[in-house]
Structure 1
Amino acid sequence: MDFNMKKLASDAGIFFTRAVQFTEEKFGQAEKTELDAHFENLLARADSTKNWTERILRQTEVLLQPNPSARVEEFLYEKLDRKVPSRVTNGELLAQYMAEAASELGPTTPYGTTLVKVSEAEKRLGAAERDFIHAASVSFLTPLRNFLEGDWKTISKERRLLQNRRLDLDACKARLKKAKAAEAKASCEGDTVPDFQETRPRNYILSASASALWNDEVDKAEQELRVAQTEFDRQAEVTRLLLEGISSTHVNHLRCLHEFVKSQTTYYAQCYRHMLDLQKQLGSAQGAIFPGTFVGTPEPASPPLSSTSPTTAAATMPVVPAVASLAPPGEAALCLEEVAPSTSGTRKARVLYDYEAADSSELALLADELITVYSLPGMDPDWLIGERGNKKGKVPVTYLELLS
C-alpha cells in the first residue's frame, strides 16, 4: 500500500498542535477565540432541537410499539434495508383467541355469542391500530429520523470542522505572539552593545542574526494567521447558515406534528365508534341474557323464564290511555307531552356517558347524573323513557346503569 509519509507527518503535526492548544485552553494557559452571542444562541438552539427530537422520537416509538424486542427487530430490518415483516397487533391477536374460544365453547351460547361479537370489534380495533401506526410512522417518525440521520449529521460535521479551524487560528495567534516576543528580546540584546566599540563582540553578531531569524518567523506566523483567519471565517459562515436552517426544521416538524395529531384523532374516533357499536350490540342482548335487569320492570320475586323478552315484560305494566299512540321509532312520532310515567316499573338510573339528543324526542344526558327511567309498550328495547325534573325524553339503555 502506498503511503504518503509527508502527508501523514503533516496530519500528525496538525493533530498534535490542536491537542496542545485544546489542553492549554482547558487549563487556562492559552487564549481562546470566542464566538459572538448570536452564534452561541444558534448553537444552543440546535443542540436543544436535537436532544428533544431524540426524546420525542424514542417515546413515540414506545407508544406505537411497546414491545422492546419488536422495536429492536424493526430497527435491524431497517438498517439492513429489508422489508419489516407484517406483525399481528395485540387487538387482532385477542380477536383470534376470542374467536377460537367461541368456536370451542359453543358459538350459540350466550357466552359464545358475546365472544364472537367482541372478537369482531377487537379485530376492527386491531386494523385501526395498524393504520394508525403506519400513518404515524410515515408522517411523523420518518421526518424526525431524517433530521437526525441527515441534517444533524451535516451540522455536526461542520461544527467539528469549525472547532478545528478555531484551534488552528488560536495556535497561529499563539505562535505569532511567541515570535514577536522572541524578536523583541533579540532586538533588546543587540541594543545593549556600545556604539563606540570599533569591533563589535561576537554575542552582538549572534543577536543580530537571531533578530533577523525571528523577524522571518514573525512574517511567517503572520501569513499563517491570515490564512487561518480566512478559513475560520469561511467555516463560521457555512456553519451559521446551517444552524439558521433549524428554523425551517421546526416548521417541517410542526407540520408533521399536525399530521400525527390528525392520524391519532382518526384512530381514537374509530376506536370510540367501534366500541360504541359493540356496546349497543351487547346492550340489546342483555335483556335476553339477564331477563328483568335492563327493562323498566320491578325485580321479579322468582327467576323469570328464559323466553321472557323485554317487550313482553314491559307489556305487563299498567298502560296509561294517553300513550296508546306510542310506536317504535320510524312508525310514529313520540308525543312527549302525552307520555305519563307508569305507576309501577319506574326506577333510578345513573348516566354513564354524556349523550346529546338527536331531536326533540330524546333527552340529553350528562355523565354521573341520576334520572328516572321506565319503559312503555311497543318501545324499542334499546331505549327507555327518561325523566329529569319536568323534562322527559327517550334515552339509550347503553348509556345507563340501572339501579335497584
Structure 2
Amino acid sequence: MDFNMKKLASDAGVFFTRAVQFTEEKLGQAEKTELDAHFENLLARADTTKNWTEKILRQTEVLLQPNPSARVEEFLYEKLDRKVPSRVTNGELLAQYMIEAANDFGPQSPYGKTLIKVGETERRLGGAERDFIHSASINFLTPLRNFLEGDWRTISKERRILQNRRLDLDACKARLKKAKAAEAKAAAVPDFNETRPRNYILSASASALWSDEVEKAEHELRMAQTEFDRQAEVTRLLLEGISSTHVNHLRCLHEFAEAQATYYAQCYQYMLDLQKQLGRLPGTFVGNTEATSPPPATASPTVMPAAAGPAIPTLPVVPTVAGAPDGAPAIEALNPSDVKPPASGTRKARALYDYEAADSTELSLLSDEMITVYSLPGMDPDWLMGERGNQKGKVPVTYLELLS
C-alpha cells in the first residue's frame, strides 16, 4: 500500500511538473526543443492520413450498411470476437414477399407469374449485393481498420514517448543553465581579507559546489539528448512508413472500385434478362396507341449525360391483337416473309439495345444497328415490323430510337 501511494505521488509530481513546462512554453517563459522541418512535415502527413482514413472508413460503412442499428450490432459482435450473424439483404426480403404474394394470388395467373419472375431477379440482386459487401469489407474496410487499430496506435504511442523525451531534455537544459548561472555568481570570490577570511572560504566552497552541479547537469543533459535522438529516429521511421500505407490503401481502393463495378454490371445484366423474360410472358396489358411516335429525348441514351451511366430499357409490352379491325388476320399468325411493307409510312430506326428473338416471328437486334420499321393494321402498338435486308420480324418499340 505504501509503495502504491509513493508511486501515485511520484506520477502526480511528474504530471504537475510537465504541466508547468507546457504552460511556460506557451507563455514563452521556457525554451522548447524544435523538431526539424522534415520531421514536422511527416507528423502533419501522418495526422492527415489518420483523419481522412477515419472519415472514409465511416462513410464506406454507411454505404455498405445504411442502417445505423445494424452497424452498431455488427460493431458489438466484432468487439466481442463473435461471428456476425448472416443478415438478409433488402432485395432478398423483397423477393421473399413477392414470391409469397404470387403463391396467394395464383402462381399461374399473369400477375403471379410476373411476381415470381421479378422476385427471382430481386433475389439474384440481393445475392450480388451480399457478395459486394463481403468483398468490400475484406479488401477495403479491413485494411483501413488495421491501419487505425495497429500502425496508428503504434505511431501515437511512440509520439507520446518522444514528447516526454523532449520535455526531459528541455528540463535538463533548464537545470544546466541555472547551474551555470549560479556557478558564475559564486565564482565572483571577494579578495582575501584577513579580517573576514570566512567570506572567502564560503565563496570558494559555493563555487566548488556549483561546479559539481554543472558537471552533473551536463551529464544528465547528454543522457537526455541521447534518449531523445534515439526516440526521434524510431518515430521518424514509423512516420516514413505512412508512404507504404498509402501504397497499400491505393491497391485496396482499386479492388473496391472493381468490386463495385462488378456489382453494378451484374445488376444491369439481371435487369436486362428480366425485361426479356417479362416481354415473353402472356399478359393483358395494352400499351398506348401513340407508342409508335419517337421516344422523348430524355429517354434516349444518345442525349443523356455521360455521367448518367448506361440507360435501362423500359419494359416491352407483350404483343396482343387488341384493337384489330374485324376480319383482319392476327399478326402473330402471319409469316414475316409474307408481310409486305406499306406503300408509305416506313421509317428508319436505330436499335438501342441487343434483343434476342423469342420465335420465328420476331427479329433479333444488335445495339446501334439501323433497320427499317413500319406498322401494320391490327398490330400491337408496342411492336413494329422490322426489316434488315431479306430478314423480317416483329421488334419491340422500346428497343428502338425512331429516326425522322
Q: What is the TM-score normalised by the length of structure 2?
A: 0.77
Residue 355 of structure 1: aligned partner: 353
Q: Is the contact between residue 297 and residue 344 of structure 1 (CA under 8 Å) also seen in structure 2?
A: no
- CA separation of 1:33/1:257 partners in 2, compared to 1, >3 Å: closer, same or farther? same
| 2:322 aligned partner | 304
* Aligned pair partner of 1:284 in 271, 280, 285: 280
How many Å apart are 1:280 and its aligned residue? 1.5
Select which of 244, 249, 253 maps to 1:248: 244
Shift of 1:375: 5.9
Question: Shift in Å at residue 347 of structure 1?
Answer: 8.1
Matches within 5 A, 1:193-342: 193-195=190-192, 197-285=193-281, 288-291=283-286, 304=322, 312-313=330-331, 324=337, 341-342=341-342
* Aligned amino acid, residue 261 of structure 2: T
| In structure 1, distance between residues paired with 2:291 and 2:372 | 10
Alpha-carbon distance between aligned partners in 2 of 1:220 and 1:167, rounded to the nearest angstrom: 18
Q: What corresponds to 1:18 in structure 2?
A: 18
Aligned-partner residue type, residue 324 of structure 1:
S
In structure 1, C-alpha distance between the alignment counterparts of 2:161 and 2:46, rounded to whole Å: 16
Q: How does 1:82-121 map to 2 (within 5 A)?
A: 82-121=82-121
Contact 2:364/2:395 (CA < 8 Å) preserved in 1? no
Aligned to 2:72: 72
The CA deviation at 1:103 is: 1.6
What is the distance in 1 between the residues matched to 2:364 and 2:114? 31
Q: Distance in 1 between matches of 2:387 and 2:36?
A: 72
Q: CA deviation at 1:130?
A: 0.6
Q: Work out whether residues 296 and 347 of structure 1, in 8 Å CA contact, stay in contact via their aligned partners in 2.
A: no
The number of equivalent residue pairs is 362
Cα deviation, residue 185, structure 1: 1.7
Query: How many Å separate the matches in 2 of 1:26 and 1:87?
Result: 53
Q: Deviations over 1:313-335 (max 9, x none)?
A: 3667xx9xxx7378xxxxxxxxx
Aligned to 1:150: 150
Q: Which runs of 5+ in 2 are unaligned?
A: 294-320, 357-362
State the distance in 1 between where 2:199 and 2:352 align: 104
Distance 1:11 1:213, change over 3 A: farther
Q: How far apart are the structure 2 equivalents of 1:227 and 1:361?
A: 86
1:202 Cα offset (Å): 3.6
Distance 1:91 1:180 in 2: 78
The amino acid that maps onto 2:15 is F
Partners of 1:151 and 1:67 in 2: how far apart? 29
**Partner-residue secondary structure (3-state), 2:342:** coil
- Note the aligned Cα RMSD (angstroms): 3.9
Q: 1:325 to 1:296 in 2, by over 3 A?
A: farther
After superposition, the C-alpha distances for 1:67-107 in whole angstroms (9 at most, x for unaligned) are 00000000000000000001100000111111122222222
SS at match of 2:330: helix
State the alpha-carbon separation in 2 of the partners of residues 153 and 294 from structure 1.
68
| Aligned-partner SS, 1:233 | helix
Residue 335 of structure 1 is matched in structure 2 by none
Identify which range, 393-402 or 106-115, moves more after superposition: 393-402
Q: Report the secondary structure of 1:83's partner residue.
A: coil
> 1:35-83: CA deviations, max 9, x gaps?
1111111111111111111111101100000000000000000000000
Closer, same or farther in 2 for the Cα pair 1:386/1:250, shift >3 Å? farther
Alpha-carbon separation, structure 2, partners of 1:312 and 1:69: 58
1:284-316 alpha-carbon deviations (Å, 9 max, x no partner)? 33x732246599999xxxx9389x9xx933667
**Structure 1's 167 and 108: CA in aligned 2 closer, same or farther, altered over 3 A?**
same
Question: Match of 2:71, as an amino acid?
Answer: R
Maintained 8 Å contact 2:21/2:30: yes
Number of the residue aligned with 2:307: none
Q: TM-score, normalization: structure 1?
A: 0.77
The whole-number CA distance in structure 1 between the counterparts of 2:387 and 2:38 is 67
For residue 129 of structure 1, what is the aligned residue in structure 2?
129
The alpha carbon displacement at 1:145 in A equals 0.5
Deviation at 1:20, TM superposition (A): 1.9
Q: 1:2 to 1:393 in 2, by over 3 A?
A: farther
For residue 83 of structure 1, what is the amino acid of its counterpart?
A: K
Residue 274 of structure 2: SS of its match in structure 1?
A: helix
Gaps of 5+ in 1: 327-339
Q: 2-side partners of 1:162 and 1:2: how far apart?
A: 31
The answer to whether the 8 Å contact 2:191/2:200 transfers is no
What is the CA distance between 1:201 and its match in structure 2?
4.8
Task: Identify if the C-alpha distance between structure 1 residues 387 and 201 changes in structure 2 by more than 3 Å, giving closer, same or farther.
Answer: farther
CA distance in 2, matches of 1:168, 1:156: 19
Which amino acid in the other structure matches residue 248 of structure 1? S
Alignment of 1:372-391 (within 5 A): 373-374=373-374, 384-385=384-385
Q: Distance in 1 between matches of 2:196 and 2:371?
A: 121
* Distance (Å, rounded) in 2 between the aligned partners of 1:218 and 1:386: 103
Q: Cα deviations across residues 8-50 of structure 1 (Å, max 9, x unaligned)?
A: 5554443333222112112211111111111111111111111
Contact 2:161 2:231 in 1 (8 A): yes
Q: In the alignment, which residue of structure 1 is the partner of 2:298?
A: none
Would the aligned equivalents of 1:43 and 1:243 in 2 still touch at CA under 8 Å?
A: yes
Counterparts of 1:146-185 in structure 2 under 5 Å? 146-185=146-185
Q: Which amino acid aligns with 2:337?
A: A
Please tell me the residue identity of whatever aligns with 2:78.
E
How many Å apart are 1:159 and its aligned residue?
0.4
